Amino acid sequence: MNATSTVTKPEHVAIIMDGNGRWAKSRGLPRVAGHRAGVKTLRKLIEHSVKINLNAITVYAFSRENWQRPKSEVDLLMDLFISALNSEVKDLHKNNVKLTFIGDRSAFSRKLQNSINDSETLTTSNTGLRLNIAANYSGRWDIVQAIQVITKEIESNKIKIEDVDEALVSNKLSLADHNDPDLFIRTGGEQRISNYFLWQSAYTELYFTETLWPDFDAKQLDIAIDWFSQRQRRFGKTSEQIEQTQNS
Ligand code: FPP
C-alpha cells in the first residue's frame, strides 16, 4: 500500500458492465449471448463482493438511452432481467444481499415491475451487501427528479429556497442512504461516464479496463480494488495536508 493512501477498500463500487456485444461478436454469437454471459459474470462478482465484505455495488444494467437499441435487443434484455431476477433472488436472499433498483421502473412491463418489487420486498431486511441495479436510470434524470421534488417542497412551503444546499440535493437523489461511490469501474475499453452517476461521482476514483465485461472476474475486481487502495484521495486538499492528517 502507498504510504499516502487514506483508504484501503472502497465501500461503494459503481460498475458499467460494457463489452457484452463485442464479446459475443468476436465468437460469432448473437449479442444476447454476450448479455447472458454478462449475467454469469455479475453473479460471480456478487459472490466475490460478499466474500470480501464490500458494502455496496451498483451496476448500470440499462440506461435511459439504451431504449434506442434495436427493439429485438431491448426485448431480449428485458426477458433476461426477468429470468435472471427470478432465478437469482433466492440465492441473493440466502446470502443476506439487499437488492435495490434505481431508475424509472414505470417504463417497464408489469411483469418486470412485479419481479423488481418482489425481489426488493424479499430482501428488504437483509443486512449484508447492498446490490443496487440501475435500470432505466441516468444521472441527468436523477438530478431532474431531485429538482422536481425540491421544487414541490418549496411550492408547498415545506422548505424555503435558502434551505437548498448540496446536502439537500444529495438527499433527494437515488441512493441517498449510500455513500457516494468510491470506485467506478468501466469494462470494455471506453473511457467515459455515459450519464451514470453525475452528481454522486464528483470525487469517485475512475478505473477503466480494456477487458470486456464477460471476461471480467474476481481477480480483476481485486486488481481494481488494489489500484483504488493506491490512490491518494484529496477531496480538494493538498497531498501535504493529507499526509499531515495521516501522520497525526
Ligand atoms: C453493455 O454492453 C451492457 C448492457 C447494456 C447490458 C448489461 C446487462 C447485464 C450484464 C445483465 C444484468 C442483469 C441483471 C438482472 C442486473 P454492450 O451491449 O454495450 O456491449 P458492446 O459495447 O460490446 O456492444
CATH number at residue 199: 3.40.1180.10
Question: For residue 162, is it within any domain?
Answer: no
pLDDT band per the 50, 70, 90 thresholds, residue 69: very high
> Does the structure show a pLDDT above 70 at 143?
yes
- Residue 90 DSSP code: H
Percent of the chain with pLDDT over 70: 97
Q: Measured between alpha carbons, how far is 147 from 32 in angstroms, rounded to an integer?
A: 36
Would you state the cell numbers that stand for residue 247, as one nine-digit string? 501522520
The pLDDT of residue 192 is: 97
pLDDT band per the 50, 70, 90 thresholds, residue 20: very high
Question: For residue 163, is it within any domain?
Answer: no
pLDDT band per the 50, 70, 90 thresholds, residue 94: very high
The pLDDT of residue 211 is: 98
Question: For residue 130, is it within any domain?
Answer: yes
Mutate to test the pocket of ligand 1, among 20, 92, 108, 137 (most ligand atoms within 8 A of CB): 20
Percent of the chain with pLDDT over 90: 90
Catalytic residue among 18, 20, 136, 142: 18
Question: For residue 157, is it within any domain?
Answer: no
Question: For residue 38, is it within any domain?
Answer: yes
Question: For residue 237, is it within any domain?
Answer: yes
pLDDT band per the 50, 70, 90 thresholds, residue 2: very low
Model pTM score: 0.92
Count of structural domains, the chain: 1
Question: For residue 60, is it within any domain?
Answer: yes
The pLDDT of residue 7 is: 52
Question: For residue 213, is it within any domain?
Answer: yes
Mean pLDDT (whole number) for 122-146:
98
Could you tell me which residues come within 8 angstroms of residue 130 by beta carbon, excluding any fewer than 6 positions away? Answer: 55, 56, 57, 97, 98, 100, 178
Which structural domain range is residue 42 located in? 12-139+179-247
